[in-house]
Amino acid sequence: MDIRTGNGYDVHALAEGLPLWLGGVEIESPVGCMAHSDGDVAIHALCDALLGALALGDIGKHFPDTSDEFKGIDSKILLARTAGLVRSHGYRIGNADITIVMQRPKLAPYIETMRETLSAVMGIPVPAVSVKATTTERLGFTGRGEGCAAYATVLVIKD
């Protein structure tokens, strides 16, 4: 059995009046991510982790933010394509673990929906998808509400 891990990290600046998408779910929030796509940092970190596991480069290489094709795109489409790429290389996704770093709003009410959404998009069971959220105790750019960040770790398996 061939097992590989990957990690991903992403940051977006926050601005008032923009929609906030995290983990494929729209979050009720006065601020949202500034981005070429829908700015879903959790999915972007997850895509980078999946690409990293297979040493296929990064999300910017596969879905360039200079391309009109990806302007305002639903990041779930990027994740579906990335998961397809993993499968096309003969691997299946074993599990994914994501940490979203954001001071506010509180994300706890959305975590289960994010897990269900991401598992459906990747085609893996819900128990294989973990989503966690943390603040940074008001420290740093996330703590000041200037931006949000996400970390992702994945395991991929070739049976």
Residues that bind Mg ion (CB under 5 A): 10, 44
**What minimum distance in Å lies between the beta carbon of 54 and Mg ion?**
19
**What minimum distance in Å lies between the beta carbon of 42 and Mg ion?**
10
Residues in the chain: 159
Residue number with CB closer to Mg ion (91 or 107): 107
Residue 76 CA to residue 147 CA, distance in Å, equals 21
User: Which residue is at the shortest CB distance from Mg ion?
Assistant: 44
**From the CB of residue 52, how many other CB atoms can be counted at a distance below 10 Å?**
22
Alpha helices by DSSP H, 36-74: 41-53, 59-62
Residues contacting 97, CB < 8 A, separation 6+: 130, 132, 152, 153, 154
Residue number with CB closer to Mg ion (91 or 150): 150
**What minimum distance in Å lies between the beta carbon of 56 and Mg ion?**
17
Residue number with CB closer to Mg ion (44 or 76): 44
